[in-house]
Amino acid sequence: MFYYHRINPFEQGYAKVEYNSKYGLIDKDGKTIIEPIYDKLQITKSNILIVQYDRLWGCIDLSGKKIIPIKYDELAEYKDGLAYVKLNGKWGYVHKNGNEYFVN
């Protein structure tokens, strides 16, 4: 049995857990879905996870696969396959296919 320091309320069938100031995800059966390795973790309505790792932001799916690379300075939202991100002082969008759109 694994003991977490904190378990948040379930959202959409999953709960954010904290262990040693790192965050992960469990399902309603208590099975670890995402290991607690992230500095921050947010569940979106589409079950994509916005995560921060080593001060950088990105998105992963429930299997842990990177949807948006974890390389951005900030990530404000993820919706419909697009993330609103900040990189090197510039705000723009990155699509889940990897295409980036920034203002010059």
Domain segments of the chain as ranges: 6-102
Cα 13–chain centre separation: 16
pLDDT in tens, 50-74: 999 999 999 999 999 999 999 999 9
Residue 14 has pLDDT above 90, yes or no: yes
- Tally the residues of the chain: 104
pLDDT reported for residue 3? 86
pLDDT above 70: percentage of residues in the chain: 99
Per-residue pLDDT, 1: 63
Residue 46: pLDDT above 90?
A: no
Give the 3-state DSSP-derived string for the chain, with helices as H, strands as E and coil as C.
CCCCCEECCCECCEEEEEECCEEEEEECCCCEEEEEEECEEEECCCCCEEEEECCEEEEECCCCCEEEEEEECEEEEEECCEEEEEECCEEEEEECCCCEEECC
- The pLDDT assigned to 34 comes to 96
pLDDT surpasses 80 at 37: yes
